[in-house]
Chains A and B, each alone.
Chain A
Amino acid sequence: MSLNVVIIEDDIQLNLVISEYFTLKNFETICIYDGIEAVDFIEKSNSNKIELYIIDINLPSYNGLDIVKFIRKTDINTPIIIVTASLEIQNFTDAFDFGCSEYIKKPFHIKELEIRVNKLLNKEIKVIYFSDDFYYDEEKKSFSYQKEMIELRFKEQRLIEILLQNANKLVPTEIIYDYVWEGEIRELYPLRQLLRDIRKKLPMDIITTKVKQGYIIKTKQCKQ
């Protein structure tokens, strides 16, 4: 099922690139470049068919904030993300007062915009995959393999957390001591024991040891 995202941005290139990116991500996009055109579209369209608005503040004819106000007259539910190059705090305050759901300031990584869109549409990814059927659930703080949950003890959770914080990077043992034992223990033996226990629980070895340096956890897909 594709979702309708309305992009109201006067910069054609930015409008098009956002549109292209979200199309690739299975969204249906509607590009509008002008305030009057936007008002006209909103008046004529069925709000039920629109899932989300991305609106630039500085638009020709009508200000983006005016568009927000106009939408909210008839539609109070559809999420609106304000995109702005302005740092005027009044713009942000007004945007929220008029009913915008989120804002993002230019320049932005398109992935950042995607995260916010997904968040508003409840599409946030909260799991980290190691293989197609093996992943770590950040909320539950446990692994899942072939739909079976693998529970972890507190210290094990802490170790996985610090390694996942730095996924695919070498994490020095000192950092691990600080995070897992909060600096109280700085010995290799308890760490090795803890790793042994984790490895035993998991279907594959996802943690690589770099002798006298630290450890790396390797993921299939980076956390988004």
Chain B
Amino acid sequence: MFLIYDSYKLNQNNTSKKEIKQIVLINKEFMTNNLQYIKKELKQKEAVFLKIENEIKNISIVSNTDVIKLKEKLSNQFSLKEQELSLEVFTLNKEYKIVQSSNNFDIGYDISLNKNEKKTLDNISKLYSLKQSSGVFFDAFDQTIKKYAFFKLKDSSYIGISIIFEFSKKHKEAFKNLLISLHTKLDYRYVIRDTNKVEYTMELFMSRDDFSSRAEYYKKLHKNKKISVKDYSFIKAAKEGKEHSIKKGNKLYTYVPLLKKDNNILPLFADIVLEIESDISSEKLFFQKTYQYVIYFVWMYILMILMIFYFITSYHNIERDLKKAILKNKNLVKYNKNFIANMVHQIRTPLAVIMSNLSLLEYFNGDKNKYSNQINASITTLSNSYENLSYINSYESLLYKNKRIDLSDFLKKRVAYFDLAANANKMNLITNINDNIFFTINDLELERIIDNTITNAIKYSHFEKDAYITLKKSSEGIIISFKNQGYKIENEEKLFEKKEKEKNQERMHLGLYVISLISKKHNIKIVFRRENDFNIFEYHFTNPDLV
């Protein structure tokens, strides 16, 4: 953003400066050319002035001489009109104020305000001698250049003669055209410092019809001692002899002295200063917009920082809370696990006592009866449930080592273990177990698969319908198959999940879930299918390295 602004500003400044430089150059060139022309003219016409001076010396003049007539006489005598010259004749009192003048406008004007003329008048010592002012006087009032000469009279009054070199019409026209062609508002002013050290400026090419006399103008000027900023800017440029600029609103004002102080053309024209007005509204607008954007950006940045701060704080708080919650949860899980582990551990011994006592009871009663069978069946189911619980609780933390197991023998023993439970449910476990089939697996995990499937078969079989357990080895690997006649299982795909939501009721599938965990671990393929009225679970032990 700042880069864009800088780049724009640099570019804009360069454009303005370039334009101003161009205008200044044109003006300087124009002014120089014109003044050189005027200087040349002045030099040619100075001779006329000498002739007039000599003529005046020969005329007997007094303070009440008719100055208008004298002017006419001299003008005619020296054919001034033909030379594009005019003449003014005036009388001064001893305070150097104009008493009579061929130009009524000048009456009452204190000529001592003109530095050169005062010096000339002060230096006239002889009576009836004519003394020329050094240099020329630029009369900004009527845009003329005047050359003064004074003649001291007896009563300490003076006769003054000024030869006037007007800016020719064509010069004035040329300036106006220049103003139009540049499409820029220009103001030419002449900076004046009178002998009272009053500084003021006068616009060139301006009509001053508002004043009836020169004296009135100066009187007003002296009365109003406040200098406007504009006047001050012109005066400063003239005084320092160098360009400067000020900004006001949407405008840039550049003040340029058109000639150097030490110019060899007409030194007094160094006090003509040009004001160039440039429009900087677009730059300002851009700046304002940029400023707005910057402010907006800064606010956004602050807001962003605040938001980041807020988020970081919130994040830290959330993270802290989360860590606390996780820790609490971990502790709870740990506590829970320990509780289950302890509970499972604690229950094992009393259960062994119950089972052993039951065996003793059966021993003493001679044979098993349906009550002891049902107690045994319940103990078997209970044992299976907490073995599942114990496995889920420990399978991630305990290392279950594999060993080579006689599957045939193992399966037969597990069937024998569940025989009583099956009988209590009025069913038999019919086996078809081929001998000498081995597999490498952890015995506790194998027991979980077999026990859970048999428990399931007992639990979900139709009344008085046997379950069939087969173990065989084929080209597909070792297959243990459990077949029981029972209801069709809904949501087969969710069968091995821990919980199943069925008809707004949650059913625990803990045993099957344990089977799925172990099967996944040992790469045992589970096949479930329904044939006729039978549910068939098959476990394919296909890993050749373990068979």
Contacts and interface: CB of A to CB of B under 8 A. Distances in A.
A162 B432 contact: yes
Interface stretch (A38-46, A103-111, A129-137, A192-200): A103-111
A3 interface: no
A87 B359 contact: no
Nearest to A171: B430
A11 B401 CA distance: 29
A191 to B, nearest CB: 14
A190 interface: no
B428 A17 contact: no
Give the most central of B352, B353, B363, B394: most A CB within 10 Å. B352
Interface in B324-371: 345-346, 348-357, 359-360, 363
Given A87-B398, A106-B349, A166 B356 contact: no
A175 B430 contact: yes
Contacts of B354: 107
A159 to B, nearest CB: 12
B188 to A, nearest CB: 110
A109 B399 contact: no
Given A14-B353, A166-B431, A171-B430, A111 B359 contact: yes
Given A24-B363, A107-B352, A165-B412, A85 B345 contact: yes
Nearest to B393: A87
A169 interface: yes
Contacts of B433: 165
B383 interface: yes
A109 B428 contact: no
Interface string A202-221: 00000000000000000000
Range, interface on chain B = 35 or more
Nearest to A85: B348
A110 B398 contact: no
Give the most central of A11, A85, A107: most B CB within 10 Å. A107
Contacts of B435: 161
Interface string B409-425: 00010001100000000
B345 A17 contact: no
A170 B400 contact: no
Contact of A89 (B360, B398, B430, B431): B398
A191 B416 CA distance: 26
A57 to B, nearest CB: 11
A178 interface: yes
Contacts of B412: 165
Contact of A170 (B359, B399, B430, B434): B430
A11 B353 contact: yes
A109 B360 contact: no
A17 B356 contact: yes
B444 A87 contact: yes
B214 to A, nearest CB: 125
A107 B428 contact: no
A106 B360 contact: no
Contacts of A110: 355-356, 359-360
Contacts of A24: 360, 363
Contact of B349 (A14, A88, A161, A223): A14
B379 interface: yes
B420 to A, nearest CB: 9
Interface string B481-521: 00000000000000000000000000000000000000000
A129 B429 CA distance: 21
Given A106-B348, A178-B470, A18 B399 contact: no
A95 B398 CA distance: 16
Contacts of A61: none
Contact of A17 (B357, B398, B417, B472): B357
A106 B435 CA distance: 28
Range, interface on chain A = 35 or more
Given A21-B360, A171-B430, A107 B398 contact: no
Interface string A44-65: 0000000000000000000000
Contact of A14 (B345, B352, B399): B352
B383 A107 contact: yes
A171 B353 CA distance: 34
B217 to A, nearest CB: 121
Contacts of B400: 89
Nearest to A20: B360
Given A85-B345, A89-B398, A106-B351, A21 B356 contact: yes
A170 B356 contact: no
B372 interface: no
A26 interface: no
A208 to B, nearest CB: 14
B355 A13 contact: no
Contacts of B472: 178
A84 B249 CA distance: 99
B503 to A, nearest CB: 35
A109 B428 CA distance: 20
Contacts of B416: 223
B390 interface: yes
Contact of B352 (A108, A162, A165, A169): A108
Nearest to B349: A11
Contacts of B434: 179
Interface string A72-111: 0000000000000111111001000000000001111111
A18 B349 contact: no
Contacts of B353: 11, 13-14, 17
Contacts of A171: 430
A169 B399 CA distance: 39
B534 to A, nearest CB: 12
A21 B359 contact: yes
Contacts of B538: none
Contact of B430 (A20, A87, A107, A172): A172
A107 B355 contact: yes
A114 B417 CA distance: 14
Contacts of B351: 106-107
14 contacts: A13-B350, A13-B353, A88-B398, A106-B348, A107-B351, A107-B379, A110-B355, A110-B356, A165-B431, A165-B433, A166-B429, A170-B430, A171-B430, A178-B470
Nearest 4 A-B pairs (CB), nearest first? A107-B351, A85-B348, A106-B348, A107-B352
Given A17-B357, A24-B360, A105-B348, 4 more contacts: A107-B383, A112-B417, A161-B435, A170-B430
